[in-house]
Protein backbone atom coordinates (compact mmCIF):
# COMPACT_ATOMS: atom_id res chain seq x y z
CA UNK A 1 0.00 0.00 0.00
CA UNK A 2 1.26 3.45 -0.85
CA UNK A 3 2.17 5.23 2.38
CA UNK A 4 3.10 8.77 3.30
CA UNK A 5 5.57 8.98 6.16
CA UNK A 6 5.60 12.32 7.98
CA UNK A 7 8.21 13.27 10.56
CA UNK A 8 6.81 14.60 13.81
CA UNK A 9 8.79 16.20 16.60
CA UNK A 10 7.10 14.53 19.56
CA UNK A 11 6.94 10.93 20.75
CA UNK A 12 3.14 10.96 20.82
CA UNK A 13 2.96 12.06 17.23
CA UNK A 14 5.32 9.25 16.23
CA UNK A 15 3.12 6.74 17.98
CA UNK A 16 0.07 8.13 16.19
CA UNK A 17 1.85 7.82 12.84
CA UNK A 18 2.73 4.19 13.57
CA UNK A 19 -0.88 3.38 14.49
CA UNK A 20 -2.12 4.98 11.30
CA UNK A 21 0.20 2.87 9.17
CA UNK A 22 -0.96 -0.29 10.94
CA UNK A 23 -4.64 0.60 10.56
CA UNK A 24 -4.18 1.30 6.87
CA UNK A 25 -2.49 -2.07 6.33
CA UNK A 26 -5.53 -3.92 7.73
CA UNK A 27 -8.20 -1.96 5.87
CA UNK A 28 -10.44 -4.35 3.89
CA UNK A 29 -10.48 -3.84 0.13
CA UNK A 30 -13.23 -5.28 -2.05
CA UNK A 31 -11.79 -6.28 -5.40
CA UNK A 32 -13.13 -4.33 -8.35
CA UNK A 33 -12.13 -2.83 -11.67
CA UNK A 34 -13.45 -1.01 -14.70
CA UNK A 35 -14.55 -3.73 -17.10
CA UNK A 36 -12.83 -4.38 -20.39
CA UNK A 37 -14.29 -3.00 -23.60
CA UNK A 38 -13.08 -3.59 -27.15
CA UNK A 39 -10.37 -5.96 -25.92
CA UNK A 40 -8.67 -3.24 -23.88
CA UNK A 41 -7.47 -4.56 -20.53
CA UNK A 42 -9.41 -3.28 -17.50
CA UNK A 43 -7.86 -1.15 -14.80
CA UNK A 44 -8.11 -1.56 -11.05
CA UNK A 45 -6.33 1.72 -10.34
CA UNK A 46 -2.78 2.71 -9.47
CA UNK A 47 -3.25 2.02 -5.76
CA UNK A 48 -4.45 -1.56 -6.29
CA UNK A 49 -1.86 -2.20 -9.00
CA UNK A 50 0.97 -1.09 -6.71
CA UNK A 51 -0.31 -3.10 -3.78
CA UNK A 52 -0.68 -6.31 -5.77
CA UNK A 53 2.71 -5.86 -7.41
CA UNK A 54 4.34 -5.43 -3.99
CA UNK A 55 3.13 -8.89 -2.94
CA UNK A 56 3.45 -10.68 -6.32
CA UNK A 57 -0.32 -10.89 -6.72
CA UNK A 58 -2.00 -10.35 -10.07
CA UNK A 59 -5.36 -10.02 -11.84
CA UNK A 60 -4.25 -9.85 -15.45
CA UNK A 61 -1.12 -10.27 -17.52
CA UNK A 62 -0.27 -6.62 -17.96
CA UNK A 63 2.68 -7.55 -20.17
CA UNK A 64 0.68 -9.70 -22.58
CA UNK A 65 1.74 -9.07 -26.15
CA UNK A 66 -0.33 -11.94 -27.51
CA UNK A 67 -3.92 -12.94 -26.92
CA UNK A 68 -3.11 -15.17 -23.97
CA UNK A 69 -5.83 -15.71 -21.35
CA UNK A 70 -6.19 -17.72 -18.14
CA UNK A 71 -9.34 -19.63 -17.23
CA UNK A 72 -10.15 -19.95 -13.52
CA UNK A 73 -13.17 -21.23 -11.60
CA UNK A 74 -14.35 -20.84 -8.02
CA UNK A 75 -15.75 -24.01 -6.43
CA UNK A 76 -17.45 -23.24 -3.14
CA UNK A 77 -19.95 -26.07 -3.48
CA UNK A 78 -21.16 -28.42 -6.20
CA UNK A 79 -24.33 -27.73 -8.16
CA UNK A 80 -24.07 -30.46 -10.76
CA UNK A 81 -22.14 -28.65 -13.52
CA UNK A 82 -18.44 -29.15 -12.80
CA UNK A 83 -18.29 -32.52 -14.56
CA UNK A 84 -19.69 -30.90 -17.72
CA UNK A 85 -17.15 -28.10 -17.45
CA UNK A 86 -14.35 -30.64 -17.09
CA UNK A 87 -15.70 -32.49 -20.13
CA UNK A 88 -15.48 -29.26 -22.15
CA UNK A 89 -11.94 -28.51 -20.99
CA UNK A 90 -10.86 -32.02 -21.91
CA UNK A 91 -12.55 -31.89 -25.31
CA UNK A 92 -11.07 -28.50 -26.18
CA UNK A 93 -7.69 -29.24 -24.57
CA UNK A 94 -7.96 -26.15 -22.40
CA UNK A 95 -6.18 -25.77 -19.02
CA UNK A 96 -8.09 -24.47 -16.04
CA UNK A 97 -7.58 -23.60 -12.40
CA UNK A 98 -10.17 -24.50 -9.77
CA UNK A 99 -10.19 -22.70 -6.42
CA UNK A 100 -11.79 -24.98 -3.84
CA UNK A 101 -13.11 -24.57 -0.31
CA UNK A 102 -13.02 -27.08 2.52
CA UNK A 103 -16.65 -27.95 1.88
CA UNK A 104 -15.91 -28.77 -1.75
CA UNK A 105 -12.87 -30.82 -0.83
CA UNK A 106 -14.87 -32.96 1.60
CA UNK A 107 -18.03 -33.17 -0.48
CA UNK A 108 -16.56 -33.79 -3.95
CA UNK A 109 -13.34 -35.81 -3.66
CA UNK A 110 -13.92 -37.55 -7.00
CA UNK A 111 -14.20 -34.27 -8.86
CA UNK A 112 -11.11 -32.87 -7.14
CA UNK A 113 -9.16 -35.98 -8.12
CA UNK A 114 -10.46 -35.63 -11.66
CA UNK A 115 -9.21 -32.04 -11.83
CA UNK A 116 -5.75 -33.23 -10.87
CA UNK A 117 -5.79 -36.31 -13.09
CA UNK A 118 -6.74 -34.21 -16.12
CA UNK A 119 -3.90 -31.76 -15.55
CA UNK A 120 -5.68 -28.77 -14.04
CA UNK A 121 -4.46 -26.60 -11.19
CA UNK A 122 -6.31 -26.73 -7.89
CA UNK A 123 -6.00 -23.59 -5.79
CA UNK A 124 -6.92 -22.62 -2.25
CA UNK A 125 -10.15 -20.71 -1.62
CA UNK A 126 -9.99 -21.16 2.20
CA UNK A 127 -11.64 -23.77 4.37
CA UNK A 128 -14.82 -21.96 5.43
CA UNK A 129 -14.90 -18.95 3.07
CA UNK A 130 -14.62 -16.20 5.71
CA UNK A 131 -13.63 -12.59 5.27
CA UNK A 132 -9.90 -13.22 5.65
CA UNK A 133 -9.22 -9.61 6.64
CA UNK A 134 -11.05 -10.10 9.93
CA UNK A 135 -9.40 -13.27 11.26
CA UNK A 136 -6.35 -13.70 13.46
CA UNK A 137 -2.96 -14.75 12.09
CA UNK A 138 -3.48 -18.23 13.53
CA UNK A 139 -6.97 -18.56 12.02
CA UNK A 140 -5.70 -17.25 8.69
CA UNK A 141 -3.03 -19.93 8.53
CA UNK A 142 -5.52 -22.60 9.63
CA UNK A 143 -8.00 -21.67 6.91
CA UNK A 144 -5.35 -22.32 4.28
CA UNK A 145 -3.50 -25.26 5.82
CA UNK A 146 -6.69 -27.31 6.33
CA UNK A 147 -7.39 -27.10 2.59
CA UNK A 148 -3.81 -27.76 1.48
CA UNK A 149 -3.36 -30.64 3.95
CA UNK A 150 -6.66 -32.21 2.94
CA UNK A 151 -5.79 -31.78 -0.72
CA UNK A 152 -2.45 -33.51 -0.22
CA UNK A 153 -4.07 -36.36 1.69
CA UNK A 154 -6.66 -36.83 -1.06
CA UNK A 155 -4.52 -36.44 -4.17
CA UNK A 156 -0.96 -37.02 -3.04
CA UNK A 157 0.05 -33.62 -4.40
CA UNK A 158 2.27 -31.68 -2.05
CA UNK A 159 1.41 -28.07 -1.47
CA UNK A 160 -0.71 -25.40 -3.13
CA UNK A 161 0.65 -22.30 -4.86
CA UNK A 162 -2.38 -20.18 -5.68
CA UNK A 163 -4.89 -18.46 -3.43
CA UNK A 164 -8.10 -16.67 -4.26
CA UNK A 165 -9.35 -14.65 -1.30
CA UNK A 166 -12.96 -15.45 -0.42
CA UNK A 167 -15.47 -12.88 -1.67
CA UNK A 168 -12.63 -10.93 -3.26
CA UNK A 169 -11.94 -9.20 0.06
CA UNK A 170 -8.32 -8.59 1.00
CA UNK A 171 -6.00 -6.18 2.76
CA UNK A 172 -2.30 -5.46 2.68
CA UNK A 173 -1.96 -7.61 5.78
CA UNK A 174 -3.75 -10.57 4.18
CA UNK A 175 -1.52 -10.27 1.10
CA UNK A 176 1.52 -10.20 3.35
CA UNK A 177 0.41 -13.17 5.45
CA UNK A 178 -0.45 -15.31 2.45
CA UNK A 179 2.84 -14.49 0.77
CA UNK A 180 4.66 -15.53 3.94
CA UNK A 181 2.81 -18.86 3.73
CA UNK A 182 4.02 -19.36 0.16
CA UNK A 183 0.89 -18.32 -1.76
CA UNK A 184 0.34 -16.13 -4.78
CA UNK A 185 -2.99 -14.29 -4.74
CA UNK A 186 -4.85 -14.57 -8.04
CA UNK A 187 -7.61 -12.04 -8.68
CA UNK A 188 -9.41 -11.58 -12.01
CA UNK A 189 -10.09 -9.15 -14.84
CA UNK A 190 -13.20 -10.77 -16.33
CA UNK A 191 -16.31 -11.58 -14.31
CA UNK A 192 -20.05 -11.15 -14.23
CA UNK A 193 -22.94 -12.13 -11.95
CA UNK A 194 -22.97 -15.87 -12.54
CA UNK A 195 -23.11 -17.31 -9.03
CA UNK A 196 -26.79 -16.69 -8.27
CA UNK A 197 -28.28 -20.07 -9.09
CA UNK A 198 -31.84 -18.78 -8.90
CA UNK A 199 -31.11 -15.99 -11.39
CA UNK A 200 -29.56 -17.81 -14.33
CA UNK A 201 -30.18 -16.02 -17.62
CA UNK A 202 -29.26 -18.65 -20.19
CA UNK A 203 -26.14 -19.75 -21.97
CA UNK A 204 -26.24 -16.83 -24.40
CA UNK A 205 -25.91 -14.38 -21.51
CA UNK A 206 -22.77 -16.07 -20.19
CA UNK A 207 -21.34 -16.40 -23.69
CA UNK A 208 -21.91 -12.72 -24.48
CA UNK A 209 -20.35 -11.58 -21.21
CA UNK A 210 -17.26 -13.69 -21.81
CA UNK A 211 -16.85 -12.56 -25.40
CA UNK A 212 -17.38 -8.84 -24.78
CA UNK A 213 -15.03 -8.71 -21.78
CA UNK A 214 -12.24 -10.85 -23.23
CA UNK A 215 -8.89 -9.10 -23.63
CA UNK A 216 -5.24 -10.10 -23.99
CA UNK A 217 -3.89 -11.19 -20.61
CA UNK A 218 -7.34 -11.75 -19.08
CA UNK A 219 -7.83 -13.85 -15.97
CA UNK A 220 -11.37 -15.22 -16.25
CA UNK A 221 -13.40 -15.86 -13.11
CA UNK A 222 -16.32 -18.23 -13.61
CA UNK A 223 -18.35 -20.05 -10.97
CA UNK A 224 -19.03 -23.72 -11.54
CA UNK A 225 -22.44 -23.52 -9.87
CA UNK A 226 -23.72 -21.70 -12.96
CA UNK A 227 -25.69 -23.63 -15.55
CA UNK A 228 -25.21 -20.69 -17.88
CA UNK A 229 -21.43 -21.10 -17.74
CA UNK A 230 -21.59 -24.83 -18.33
CA UNK A 231 -23.84 -24.29 -21.35
CA UNK A 232 -21.76 -21.46 -22.82
CA UNK A 233 -18.20 -22.61 -22.15
CA UNK A 234 -17.44 -24.79 -25.17
CA UNK A 235 -18.80 -22.23 -27.62
CA UNK A 236 -16.92 -19.40 -25.91
CA UNK A 237 -13.61 -21.29 -25.87
CA UNK A 238 -13.89 -22.28 -29.51
CA UNK A 239 -14.91 -18.79 -30.65
CA UNK A 240 -12.14 -17.12 -28.63
CA UNK A 241 -9.61 -19.48 -30.14
CA UNK A 242 -11.00 -18.61 -33.58
CA UNK A 243 -10.35 -14.95 -32.71
CA UNK A 244 -6.71 -15.76 -32.01
CA UNK A 245 -6.83 -16.28 -28.25
CA UNK A 246 -4.80 -19.01 -26.58
CA UNK A 247 -5.50 -20.43 -23.13
CA UNK A 248 -2.54 -20.82 -20.78
CA UNK A 249 -2.24 -22.09 -17.21
CA UNK A 250 -1.39 -20.05 -14.15
CA UNK A 251 1.90 -21.95 -13.99
CA UNK A 252 2.72 -20.59 -17.44
CA UNK A 253 2.10 -17.08 -16.15
CA UNK A 254 4.38 -17.63 -13.18
CA UNK A 255 7.20 -19.04 -15.27
CA UNK A 256 6.89 -16.25 -17.82
CA UNK A 257 7.12 -13.64 -15.09
CA UNK A 258 9.80 -15.49 -13.09
CA UNK A 259 7.93 -14.70 -9.88
CA UNK A 260 8.36 -18.18 -8.39
CA UNK A 261 8.76 -21.66 -9.78
CA UNK A 262 5.29 -23.24 -9.36
CA UNK A 263 6.91 -26.66 -9.45
CA UNK A 264 9.16 -25.87 -6.48
CA UNK A 265 6.48 -27.00 -4.04
Q: How far apart are the first and last CA of the chain?
A: 28
Question: What is the predicted pLDDT for the residue at 65?
Answer: 78
Check residue 64 and give its pLDDT.
83
Q: Which residue in 215, 223, 228, 231 is the catalytic one?
A: 223
| Residue among 122, 130, 142 nearest 166 (CA) | 130
For residue 147, is it within any domain? Answer: yes
pLDDT at 128: 97
By the 8 A CB rule, do 191 and 223 touch? no
The domain tally of the chain equals: 1
Does the residue 202 lie in any domain? yes
| pLDDT at site 259 | 55
Nearest alpha carbon to residue 130 among 161, 162, 91, 169: 169
Residues 121, 59, 105, 127, Cα dihedral to 10°: 140
Pairing verdict, β 184-185 and 246-248: unpaired
- Closest to 171 measured CA to CA, from 137, 136, 133, 130: 133
SS3 category, 244: coil
Q: Are strands 68-75 and 97-100 parallel, antiparallel or unpaired?
A: parallel
DSSP label at 162? E
Domain span at 171: 51-257
Residue 224 lies in a domain: yes
**CATH code for the domain in which residue 67 is found:** 3.20.20.370
Please confirm, yes or no, whether 63 is among the known catalytic residues.
no
Write out the chain's pLDDT in tens, 265 residues.
323 322 323 333 332 233 334 333 789 889 988 888 888 899 999 999 999 999 999 999 988 878 999 999 999 999 999 999 999 999 999 999 999 999 999 999 999 999 999 999 999 999 999 999 999 999 999 999 999 999 999 999 988 999 999 999 999 999 999 999 999 999 999 999 999 999 999 999 999 999 999 999 999 999 999 999 999 999 999 999 999 999 999 999 999 886 555 555 5
Q: Would 173 be classed as within a structural domain?
A: yes
Contact 219, 59 (CB under 8 A): yes
pLDDT of residue 261: 52
227-262 b/e with 16+ CB inside 10 Å = b? Answer: bbbbbbbbbbbeebeeeebebbbbbbbbeeeeeeeb
**Residue 15 falls inside a structural domain:** no
Our measurement of the distance from residue 229's CA atom to the centroid of its chain's CA atoms, rounded to an integer in Å, reads 17
Does residue 4 form part of some domain?
no
Q: Is residue 89 part of a domain?
A: yes
Flag whether 2 is in a domain.
no
- Mark whether 87 is an active-site residue: no
Give the integer Cα–Cα distance in Å for 166 and 72.
14
Q: Residue 43: beta bridge partners?
A: 34
Give me the pLDDT at residue 7, please: 32
Q: Global pTM?
A: 0.88
pLDDT recorded at residue 257: 85
Torsions phi, psi of 146, nearest 5? Answer: -65, -35
Among candidate residues 74, 194, 228, 231, the one labeled active-site is 74
| pLDDT on residue 264 | 54
Amino acid sequence: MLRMFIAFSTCCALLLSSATVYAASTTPIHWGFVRSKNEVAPEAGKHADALLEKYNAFYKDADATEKTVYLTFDNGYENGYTAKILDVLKKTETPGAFFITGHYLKDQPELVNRMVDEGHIVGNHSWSHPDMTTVSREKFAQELSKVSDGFKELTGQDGMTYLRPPRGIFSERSLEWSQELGYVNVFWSLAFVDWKIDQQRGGDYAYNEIMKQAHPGAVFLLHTVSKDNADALERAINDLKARGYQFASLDDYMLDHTMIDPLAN
